[in-house]
Structure 1
Amino acid sequence: MTSDALRRALTEPGDPPLLPLPGVAVELLAAVAASPRLGAHLRLVHDVAWHLTAAFADRFAAVPFDRQAVLFGAAVHDFGKVEHPAELTGPGSAHEEAGYQLLLRFGVPEERARFAVTHAAWHSPGVQLEDLLVSLADKVWKGRRVTDLEQLVVDRLTAITGQERWQTFLELDDVLAELAAGADRRLAFQAEHPVHD
């Protein structure tokens, strides 16, 4: 059963209006009685991922990627924080493997559960473009720009498109700068929702 506080985190409109999480993510959060703060955070990162992938589809039309996988990954990437709630407000990486294992236990396929780990492991072998996009959304939602992560994305895009690296960088920079501009409102929305129910 979803608490009133979690329900508010998942349904309040936000400013500008936030997109809802995918139904399966809402069901998972309700099943574990997730913190309202976690629900708000996942919704914010999912919203940014939606705008990021829309911009990618427009600006990098020749680049194949699984948009639905990115959106799902953004919606569950920090799921393990239900088992490590201290990591909602402080540093820590225990939630990554915990989230992966928890998602698997709930029947989420490995190819989707992996985002619980890969959102923080973008240098790992085998990381796909979808993983990098979830990582980008998880950084830029709060206005954070991570140079080495962005360079990995530029390298992937350049290899696929054949475009000059500097052109690809400028395109990506435009998208991320626009998304980062809304960070203060997103941070305020997240802060409105309690860490504990």
Structure 2
Amino acid sequence: MTVQEPTARPVAAPIPAVPTAGATTTRPGSIILTRHGEPALSRKCLITARQYKDWWGKYEVGGLLAGQTPPPELVNAAEGAGAIYASTRQRAQETAAAVSAGREVMSDALFIEAPLPPPRLPDFIRLSPRWWGVVSRVWWRLSDRHHQEETHREAKVRADVAARKLIERAEAGQDVLVLAHGYFNHMVGKRLKANGWALVHNQGFKYWSQRRYERR
């Protein structure tokens, strides 16, 4: 069963105005979008589209594979961050606990992963969860009907709100670390770029990876 939290449809607030000439300015901090650690649920299976829907539901509520150690570079980023945000999903929460060393972590459903509803395909088609994720992501982007799940259009609005929230915090001069999910981080990153932030350090989308953005 797919687990879904109600998705608000917030109206994007304006980005804080640029200070006028002569005013004292604070150099903005960095915004670091990080993917969670490796989940415990195995992807080594062949399943149908209907089974993938159940698999994704379990993935959404599951935690991390035991025995992982966060990269030192990520731990250092957490130590230097003035603010740490985490998605409310368990895998993101456990990632935050692993890197934050007991510091305050602000849990926010704004950063949860975009949904992955699979298309209705016959049961003789069996793929691994990895490839169902690819098929489902394409299907989700192309269709606006997902049985009351968040659409791509709605997720874009959410990503814009998330980006503006992070920008506002970083503009105060603090580095901001976000521990969340691969695809939604990608969507937030696109909105950061659209608002004048450059990707200056890119570890891709693997588990524990960082993508650091700075104001141009």
- TM-score by length of structure 1 reads 0.34
- In proportion to residue count, which structure has more helix? 1
Larger Rg: 2
- In proportion to residue count, which structure has more strand? 2
Structure possessing the higher relative contact order (Cα contacts under 8 Å, 6 or more residues apart): 2
